[in-house]
Amino acid sequence: MLRAENLTKRYRQGEKEVVALAGFTYAFPLGATAVVGPSGSGKTTLLNLLAGFDLPTEGGVFLEETPLHRLPEDARAEVRLKRMGFVFQQWNLIPTLTAWENVAFPLLLAGIPPKTRRERALELLERVGLEARASHLPSRLSGGEQQRVALARALALDPPILFADEPTGNLDAESREQVASLLFEAGRERTLILVTHDLELAARAERILHLKGGRLAREELLRPTR
């Protein structure tokens, strides 16, 4: 379980102080939670804090009982590698690596032996319907295919937490549907946190958190929490 407690982030902008997130408290259950809100409402800030990319000014992030915000950067990176997966609109694949090598990259970082890496990467590519594209470089894949490779990569170490930030932005309708179904399928047995402006996509989650001015304005329950 990932839990945010009184999460607050203030930035200095010259003389001014900007409160990007103001006392956000929430325990993310299993399944998909969409985070929506107007531009500047704190969605990206929240995601960066939850994943430990950034540290809060006040409050904390707890993964089970581990205070993520109190860990040093290398330990947070280790948590991200082993316990979290990321599918971001702009989280590009490594251009010089083939599709399967991209998927295998987290496995390499985790010290998994080469043969197992390749087998696992091919298995994951098959799951996202791209086994035939395994040896292609990202530049030879469509946007939707690249995003499916990114999803396979995010799942490589079978993380219990999955973050997605506008995962279907820039995709055509058909690719959007493919990526969305694969994402929600992967999110069924995980904690999926999905930041998006796309309300149709958000409506497929189990619940929607509405952020406003850095605060949790409303929790909208769409389906029962498991």
The residue ranges that bind ligand ATP (CB under 6 A) are 11, 13, 18, 20, 37, 39-45
Kindly tell me the sign of the dihedral angle through the C-alpha atoms of 193, 197, 203, 207: positive
Nearer to ligand ATP, 4 or 182 (CB): 4
Nearer to ligand ATP, 53 or 105 (CB): 53
**Distance (Å, whole) CA 133 – CA 144:** 13
Minimum distance of ligand ATP from residue 21's CB (angstroms): 7
**Distance (Å, whole) CA 135 – CA 159:** 25
Q: How many CB atoms lie within 10 A of CB 84?
A: 23
- Nearest CA to 54 among 63, 62, 45? 45
Nearer to ligand ATP, 13 or 139 (CB): 13
Minimum distance of ligand ATP from residue 133's CB (angstroms): 31
Tokens 């904390």 sit on residue: 60
Nearer to ligand ATP, 204 or 215 (CB): 215
Tokens of 123: 């298995």
Nearer to ligand ATP, 123 or 220 (CB): 220
**Distance (Å, whole) CA 54 – CA 31:** 24
Nearby residues of 72 by Cβ (< 8 Å), 6 or more positions away: none
Minimum distance of ligand ATP from residue 197's CB (angstroms): 6
Nearer to ligand ATP, 155 or 211 (CB): 211
Minimum distance of ligand ATP from residue 13's CB (angstroms): 5
**Distance (Å, whole) CA 193 – CA 137:** 28
Radius of gyration of the chain (CA): 18
Taking phi over 0 as left and psi of -120 to 50 as alpha, with beta for the rest, 129 belongs to left
Minimum distance of ligand ATP from residue 195's CB (angstroms): 7
Minimum distance of ligand ATP from residue 185's CB (angstroms): 26
Nearer to ligand ATP, 39 or 139 (CB): 39
Minimum distance of ligand ATP from residue 57's CB (angstroms): 12
| Extended strands (E) in the chain | 2-13, 16-28, 31-36, 58-63, 66-67, 84-88, 161-165, 191-195, 207-212, 215-221
